């Protein structure tokens, strides 16, 4: 049975492992080993994920099955790009599912959990950045009524990639998804 819940500090090591492996699975074919290694070293590790879990301006949601973390999302509040027009915006900074669990509806369940958390925090607009060369993810977000509003640069090692910024209203998000 899969459980979706807010991450605890005790999840930090397992979360770091999942975060790094799911990022590598998603993007290693399109990027150099050096750029992937640089990004992973600066973005994933038990201490890094523990800091993220502890940050009061973020929420990490995990999906767990038989004691294994199989998916996660990280939500943030605070800074947002100028193309996002909102009073209380929130960001879905990361949303990844272990490749063994792709196609089983877990990403949809995780997205619904993200939207519920956004609604709980009275967020009016939720936004995210998605690599322009990731059509599967873009299509997924469009199914949840995200629309393109701009772009920003995502540094990956020495490479600078273009992320599309997408957003949607949060109000009644769960009912409309």
Q: What is the mean pLDDT of the chain?
A: 92
Query: Per-residue confidence at 172, pLDDT binned at 50, 70, 90?
Result: low
Can you tell me the distance from the alpha carbon of 4 to that of 107, in angstroms, rounded to the nearest whole number? Answer: 11
Per-residue pLDDT, 171: 74
Q: What is the mean pLDDT of residues 137-162?
A: 93
pTM of the prediction? Answer: 0.91
Class of domain 2-176: alpha beta
């Amino acid at each position: 049975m899969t459980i979706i819940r807010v991450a605890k500090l005790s999840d930090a090591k397992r979360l770091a492992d999942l975060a790094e492996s799911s990022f590598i699975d998603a993007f290693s074919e399109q990027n150099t080993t050096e750029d992937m290694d640089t990004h992973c070293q600066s973005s994933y590790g038990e201490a890094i994920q523990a800091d993220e879990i502890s940050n009061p301006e973020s929420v990490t949601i995990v999906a767990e099955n038989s004691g294994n973390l199989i998916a996660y999302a990280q939500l943030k509040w605070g800074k947002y790009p100028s193309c996002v027009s909102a009073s209380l915006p929130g960001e879905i900074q990361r949303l990844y599912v272990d490749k063994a669990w792709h196609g089983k509806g877990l990403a949809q369940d995780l997205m619904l959990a993200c939207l519920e958390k956004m609604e709980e925090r009275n967020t009016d607009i939720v936004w995210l950045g998605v690599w322009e060369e990731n059509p599967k993810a873009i299509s997924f977000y469009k199914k949840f009524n995200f629309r393109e509003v701009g772009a920003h640069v995502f540094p990956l090692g020495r490479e600078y990639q273009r992320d599309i910024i997408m957003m949607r209203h949060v109000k009644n998000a769960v009912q409309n998804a």
